[in-house]
Structure 1
């Protein structure tokens, strides 16, 4: 699976990483729903760190399509609210 962090690049991750990323995604979603800016910033940073830790950088010269696209680290709560689906940022 290829996950893109906007403004940063793509990461290759195994399907085994999804359960943990879904937990982190749930924290982002809860913070957005509550409107808690501080919890949101922490949860988004944790999610992006989770992708960076579980994944390996995708070849920069590869033109492969991303399976998932995540907002950049400096995204606002409102920007992420617009990106959320019924399943959060990471389906599953």
Structure 2
């Protein structure tokens, strides 16, 4: 990856608490947050604004990739962030 954004202290603190709740390292928790974001953010809007169509097959926002249940792809994942969402 060519560009690695840095987290602010507040963002790092938030991620740390998510990681604790999921009982995993921050790096894995951050990956989980992005996986989950791919489920809840408007895929059509993201695709329409995309400036790099070279990775569509692996993109979290590719609607064809996740055409089934929005959580089908998480069967092989270590977690589901849905467990942390208040109901």
Tell me if both proteins adopt one fold, taking TM over 0.5 as the criterion: no
Bigger radius of gyration among the two: 2
**Structure with bigger RCO (C-alpha 8 Å, 6+ apart):** 1
Scaled by the length of structure 2, what TM-score is found? 0.33
Name the one with the larger helix percent.
Answer: 2
